[in-house]
Amino acid sequence: MRNGTITLKQAAQWCGGSVAPEYENVAFSGANFDTRRLQSGELFVALVGARNGHDFARAAMEKGAAAVLASEALSADIPAIYVKNTETALQDIARCRRAQLKVRCVGITGSVGKTTTKEMTAAVLSAAYVTQKTAENFNNGIGLPVTVLGLTPDCEAAVIEMGMNHAGELSCLTRIAQPDIAVITNVGTMHIENLGSREGILRAKLEMLEGLRPGGVAVFNGDDDMLRGVAQQYHALTFGRNENNDVRAEKVRVGEEKTSFTVTGFGQTFDVELPVTGEHYVLDALAAITVGLQCGIAPEAMAAALADFRNTGMRQRQYSRDGLHIIEDCYNAGPESMRAALKVLKAAHGRKIAILGGMLELGDFAPQAHFEVGQAAAQSADALFAYGACSGEYVRGAQSAGMAQAQCFATHEALVQALRKTIRPGDTLLVKGSRGMKMERVLSLLFNEG
């Protein structure tokens, strides 16, 4: 490897592949599996799935790919590494590449809040280090190795998000990323369908520590009952609002547009103001601050970085349009994040309308979870419009708690048609649901965009 590039010969050795002698010295920097995003000089990974990536090998070369990682024969004029499985080979290459890097890596996982925590942590570390982070939702067995291979030679800190929904997935991811600091934000009920119980989810989350580098540090949410119970066993630093945490938040104040609190930990006391509203953001920020304190970043630098924080994608984006205040939180949902979002709605001005899509991957727990979120909606909203999986349970829960206006719909179109008859200027609308519910479509239809 020279100047951040990897030769095909080296990569083939790392993944047990083969390369023709005339192409051994061809070098690449970074990797991609999508020709639409491919950058010149990257390794094109020909994945085999719903579409066969080998069909796009020629297009990738024409766009500037240095070579192709392939499991099927390609034309002899295409530089290629040949392997049995391109996905596992990509992971092997990334793991070996990571082992050569001196970059400080922070791995982040959890049932709720891991992407926001990732963004806040990257903001904090950027105050002192050249920092890179997981892009978009590249937190799985394909996206994570692409992220690792995309780390540039000048990168000093990398913030790597790790997602999972089955046992064993984090074990694989963490061995690729090899974190110096491993953060677990919480143990909720998302993916309980696959993991059976919160105890099963905890075991799966703790796989993160299997790849922790020697001398590495675990950072746990000490307010989470499951993580608090094992923190001492894993010598973890803890953050939270409870007094016994290593880093804690005091004097939390949630305003209409900002959330502020005082941080105490490791002999430091300082104030932080976040440009977002909601108590749940305090824990995300505390995780980032705990990492920052471990990395020697000055409190004032962290406070300044968090004051400029901006969340990504469709995660609790707030804006006004056509006389309505919108809380758009359509990226994903589980019982814990639903309750947190409803608290934000409760604090808003005007009439409050909850527009909730179903929560997926809850298994046998789904009916009760939706019923309980419906009850919470009744405490936070004036009306409930529900859509999708178990939406009837939302309604039953809300009605059991005294909400008069609660109904469910089979389509986005029917929901929006009824919604238009209810809303009026000054209302606040919370739109949230699991990714599969595509709740952003409600807003597109409401504003005649699709």
DSSP string, 143-154: HHHHHHHT--TT
Pairing of strands 247-254, 259-265: antiparallel
User: Residue 1: what pLDDT?
Assistant: 42
Low-confidence ranges of the chain (pLDDT < 70): 1-3, 190-196, 312-316, 449-450
> What is the rounded distance in angstroms from the CA atom of residue 160 to the CA atom of residue 181?
10
DSSP SS3 for 374: helix
Considering the domain architecture, whether residues 169 and 299 belong to the same structural domain is answered as yes
Considering the domain architecture, whether residues 111 and 189 belong to the same structural domain is answered as yes
CATH code where residue 400 lies: 3.90.190.20
The DSSP symbol for 112 reads: S
Considering the domain architecture, whether residues 63 and 117 belong to the same structural domain is answered as no
Number of Cβ within 10 Å of residue 430's Cβ equals: 27
Considering the domain architecture, whether residues 368 and 263 belong to the same structural domain is answered as no
Domain-embedded: residue 312: no
User: Residue 3: what pLDDT?
Assistant: 56
> What is the rounded distance in angstroms from the CA atom of residue 446 to the CA atom of residue 242?
42
Domain boundary among 248, 278, 307: 307
User: Residue 118: what pLDDT?
Assistant: 95
Considering the domain architecture, whether residues 286 and 324 belong to the same structural domain is answered as no
User: Residue 277: what pLDDT?
Assistant: 84
Domain that includes residue 120, residue range: 101-307
CATH code where residue 69 lies: 3.40.1390.10
User: Residue 384: what pLDDT?
Assistant: 97
Domain-embedded: residue 96: no
The Cα angle at residue 406 between residues 405 and 410, in degrees rounded to 5: 135
Considering the domain architecture, whether residues 382 and 265 belong to the same structural domain is answered as no
Q: Which residue has the tokens 């959330």?
A: 259
Domain boundary among 37, 66, 89: 89
Asked if 410 contacts 388 with a C-beta cutoff of 8 angstroms, the reply is no
Helices 299-307, 280-294: axis angle to 10 degrees equals 140
Name the domain count of the chain.
3
Considering the domain architecture, whether residues 291 and 394 belong to the same structural domain is answered as no
Residues 128-170 have pLDDT tens digits of: 999 999 987 789 999 999 999 999 989 999 999 998 878 899 9
pTM of the model: 0.77
User: Residue 240: what pLDDT?
Assistant: 97
User: Residue 2: what pLDDT?
Assistant: 42
Considering the domain architecture, whether residues 340 and 298 belong to the same structural domain is answered as no
